[in-house]
Structure 1
Amino acid sequence: MNAVPIILIFAAGLNSCIGNILLKWSRASLPANAGLADTFLSLGFVGGLVFYGINVVLFAKALDSMEVSVAYPILAGSGFAMLMIASRCIFGEPIHLHKWIGVALVLVGVIFLTRGG
């Protein structure tokens, strides 16, 4: 398997992770009486959309040479793992045993999908 699509997928997963972190940050920093402009035109919200857009472009390029049934689980699994760690570091969200088990199960599933005939 060519390494370029895998690199593109992990880069897309990283962009998805950054987009999610920015969206969470934009929600957490909103005042209680925020209007529509404050809600949807904040730096965090717009930044999150930009990173999601980059995610889509990178993933689409990876699909030029990969099956979507293999590529998407890799994208989702890598995104879950990165987001779990980033949310712990940035927001102090706990990482309980069930989260580690969930990520491990996703990883096992991705391994099975990529090894399939």
Structure 2
Amino acid sequence: MTSQFSVEFLNTIIKAYDIRGLVEKEVTPEFTYAVGRAFAEFLKEIKEPTTLVIGEDMRPSSPVLAGAFAEGAIAQGANVIRMGLASTDMLYFASGKLNLPGIMFTASHNPAA
């Protein structure tokens, strides 16, 4: 699968433990869909469970971005458990209890741009 996103762009927003960018400008539904596909493919390649848990914060963009990520992962054959509105701690608990990879859509402590 080839990416529609440049290496320079990806290196700018993908960090060691998270993805950081401006919603609607850098982090778009199209981008999170592509990341969901890539993440599910990665899980298959390393022989990890292809069921994953997704949580989201209260920002209006979170359900849209989480939904696009889920659609991308499902397109690659993953199963997705969407928690909906959840704190990061709740996602950590669910991920640990279920022994599944977890993805949290949150602006963290950052104010709305």
The structure that is strand-richer by fraction is: 2
Q: Return the TM-score normalized by structure 2.
A: 0.31
Relative contact order: is structure 1 or structure 2 higher (C-alpha 8 Å, sep ≥ 6)? 1
